Amino acid sequence: MTMIVDNLQAVHERIVAACAACGRDPQAVRLLAVSKTFGADAVIDAMAGGQRMFGENYIQEGVEKILTVREREADALRLSSSGPVQWHCIGPIQSNKTRLVAEHFDWVQSVDRLKIAQRLSEQRPAHLPPLQVCLQVNIDGGPTKSGVAPQDALALAEDVARLPGLQLRGLMSIPEPAMDFVAACALHKRAADLFDQINRAGVLPQAMDTLSMGMTADLEAAIQAGSTMVRVGTAIFGNR
């Protein structure tokens, strides 16, 4: 096995342990491998370990990697029966890059304004399934972080849910690093509470099912707070 496959196993063990600590089913937490700045070979290695969900922050780099991996995907899939690869855009999106995202990615987790969602909707090719969307929420008001303000998230969710070619799946957050586990749990709990609040409002065509939060350093706290998807890069691929 490669180092990446070993690392994947270690991350899955962390997820299982974190779920056991708070009485959750490990199957309720999905792992998104953040492959930004790592090449197609690293993705192929992770695929050999059964990983099928990959996140990219930089759109141009991500598209080039998607195309390269797709050329080799048929051979790579013979190494595992886990199914085709799913690509998530998790970085900020400028208006001039929405077409690339709409044409190549399966998910977008970083929608934070209606204009971007509208462009993604208009540019999603008709032959592809709806683009799966999460709203990025700036849950702690970090001055350098993207994301819709929590008080504006419900209105944005209503607007995005009405757009054709998109399916609203949930929320994503990247809070500032916390001092300790308790503080990290409290930050993630804010996003979980907002997620529940939007679902309880009953204004969406269907309830959101994805709460994307937690990374290498804080995945245990995020799972404690209710995360359904953790985004892990360093613990899988190594330092950038």
**What is the tens place of the pLDDT at every residue in 44-94?**
999 999 999 999 999 999 999 999 998 886 665 554 445 689 999 999 999
Residue type, 126: A
d(CA 73, CA 40): 10
pTM attached to this predicted model: 0.94
In the chain the domains, ranked by start, together with CATH numbers, are 3-232 (3.20.20.10)
d(CA 30, CA 46): 15
Confidence class for position 194, pLDDT limits 50, 70, 90: very high
